[in-house]
Amino acid sequence: MAVFKKLILLFLTIAVLGAVVVMAQDDVARVAPTGSNPLYLPVITIPFGEAHIYLPVVTSAYLTAPPISIVPFSPPINTDTITDIASAGDERLFVTARQGIIHIIQPDGQLLPTPFLDISDVVTIQNWEQGLLGLVFHPNYPATPYFFVSYTRKFTNQIYIERFTVSPTDPNVASRASQTLIMRIDKTELLSLVHNGGDLSFGPDGYLYIGIGDGGPDPHYGSPDVHDPANNGHRLDTLLGKMLRIDVNGTGLLPQDNCNNEIVNFHYTIPPDNPFADGAGPNCDEIWARGLRNPWRFSFDRTTGQLFIADVGEWEREEVNLEPAGSAGGRNYGWRCWEGTFDQRNPHPEIAGGCLPQAQYTFPIYEYDQSGGCSIVGGFVYNGRMYGALRGHYVFGDFCNGTLKVLSRNPENEWYKAQEVGVGVFISTFGEDAVGELYMGTWNPANQARVYRVVAGNSPNQ
Ligand SMILES: [Ca+2]
Ligand SMILES: [Ca+2]
Ligand SMILES: [Ca+2]
């Protein structure tokens, strides 16, 4: 998946530090059984933000966030990667195991013995950026008993978006017979298995947003091609390298182009105000935003409606992009011409012809280079009830160095990194429960991945 791009680097890390990681995890298991101490994990807090308190206080995001850490929530799950964590609006958490299985976690953290869904027979995981990548429930669930998944398809490596129906007789089981293909996206670089994106989320407008990577290849895998060779991020005739926006309730316009290989089924329509919709014209009507390399995880702030898109970088920058609520869409986030604020036309003048004037790009609200990690994992603005002082702050992470990070705002409304915390595990994804509490999933090469709660401060309700 998108976050896992630095394969060689990672394997070196594993080879060199594997024993240390295993020891650390052993220590965790031995020293602190689940739930005994909310702050037992080894934590290093690096305070980057100034601890001033500004008055008047408009929102807590202007204040320094309380120190955050993680506590185990689920037992180890038999998978190398938790790829997504979703809520159906009730007390259950749904977690996707990369190989194609959805588990239900109960409020006490225990897994239901029977998986909610198992589609591992049609999911390919030949590359570690592949698998079951995203899950979201219809916002009107259970009245509308649908949920949507994204995954990479066995044999073809295409990106599939599908809809399923929850069983009418058992809400803890999905109907496999209801499997309905919504979208089937070809990889233009047929030998590239990476940069699939795959996150799914409904916006406050009720439309389904889908993050899709540029399709690769990735120089970290030894490809001689670099930088999105087909310029998919900028092209309007491909769904790769984009944020998509579709109407799964069928109230919009019928898509008429050939961007989605399954378009004949018309299981979705195009919102009439999609920024590039041109009917039978060559633009992919599904496009909401472009210029993305691998938007592995994105989220909406459930209070403000702001859209946070974390785009995984290549060598230079990991970035957080912010789209304000009510945006008209159509933004270009820069890739392959810009990697964050790094101008790729300087080392690669051959790509300049496909670039736009600088003023037509939207640059990230926050970026970091490899001193801060090497694969950003987008998170959420905290909107839960447990930690009032964390509300309004954006919590995310980096896979490579296992750090949780917090973005806060100063009184000039600029976002800055207010906190960075080493948590000693490989962060793969984040999710929210029904009331806005945050959860984090991990990658674990021994098939012991698990879900953690993100906690803040030393006591609740501070
Ligand atoms: Ca998600
Ligand atoms: Ca079109
Ligand atoms: Ca960018």
* Ranges of each domain in the chain: 7-456
Centre of ligand 2 to C-alpha 424, Å, is 46
Centre of ligand 1 to C-alpha 314, Å, is 22
Centre of ligand 1 to C-alpha 188, Å, is 25
384-399 average pLDDT score: 96
pLDDT in tens, 274-293: 999 999 899 999 999 999 99
Ligand approaching nearest to the C-alpha of 333: 3
Centre of ligand 1 to C-alpha 57, Å, is 31
Centre of ligand 2 to C-alpha 287, Å, is 10
227-242 average pLDDT score: 95
pLDDT band at 188 (very low <50, low <70, confident <90, very high): confident
Residue 226's pLDDT is 64
Ligand approaching nearest to the C-alpha of 95: 1
DSSP H/E element including 208: strand 208-212
Sheet holding 82-87, edge to edge: 82-87, 93-97, 101-105, 117-118
Contact in structure between 435 and 420 (CB atoms under 8 Å): no
Residue 147's pLDDT is 98
pLDDT higher for 223 or 51?
223
Q: In the numeric block, which tokens belong to residue 283?
A: 């633009």
Ligand approaching nearest to the C-alpha of 284: 2
Residue 265's SS3 state is helix
Ligand approaching nearest to the C-alpha of 291: 3
Ligand approaching nearest to the C-alpha of 379: 1
CATH top-level class for 7-456? mainly beta
Residue 320's pLDDT is 98
Sequential DSSP letters for 328-376: ----B--TTTEETTEETTTT-GGGGGGPPPGGG----SEEE-TTS-SSE
Q: How many Cβ atoms from other residues are within 10 Å of residue 213's Cβ?
A: 33
Strand runs (DSSP E) across 232-344, as ranges? 242-246, 287-290, 297-300, 307-311, 318-323, 338-339, 342-343
**Sequence-separated contacts (24+) of 8-14 with Cβ below 8 Å:** 8/220, 8/222, 9/220, 9/374, 9/400, 10/400, 13/400, 14/445
Centre of ligand 3 to C-alpha 311, Å, is 7
pLDDT in tens, 141-170: 999 999 999 999 999 999 999 999 999 999
Centre of ligand 2 to C-alpha 210, Å, is 18
Residue 34's pLDDT is 33
Centre of ligand 2 to C-alpha 152, Å, is 25
